[in-house]
Amino acid sequence: MPTFTLDGADMFPTDTDPAVTCRVYPTPKGLSGLPSLESLREVVRAALARTGPTG
């Protein structure tokens, strides 16, 4: 599954050891191959709050 990055940083970091397997994301409906749209929005909003809209 995809890894979502923003300015080269993993948007959903984990402390799980690397493995040869599909990546899963926690969602309100359980684990999924993709993060929820709201989770993506929250991460982008938090990044913008830290750096501003122009980085």
Q: Tally the domains of the chain.
A: 1
Please give the pLDDT value at position 50.
Answer: 86
pLDDT digits (tens, 9 = 90+) for 1-55: 678 888 888 888 888 787 777 888 888 899 998 899 999 999 999 988 988 766 5
Domain limits for position 38:
5-51
Please give the pLDDT value at position 53.
Answer: 63
Separation between Cα atoms, residue 35 and residue 31, nearest integer Å: 9
Q: Is the pTM of this model over 0.75?
A: no
Please give the pLDDT value at position 12.
Answer: 87
Mind giving me the DSSP string for 5-48? EETTEESS---SPP-SS---EEETTEEESS--HHHHHHHHHHHH
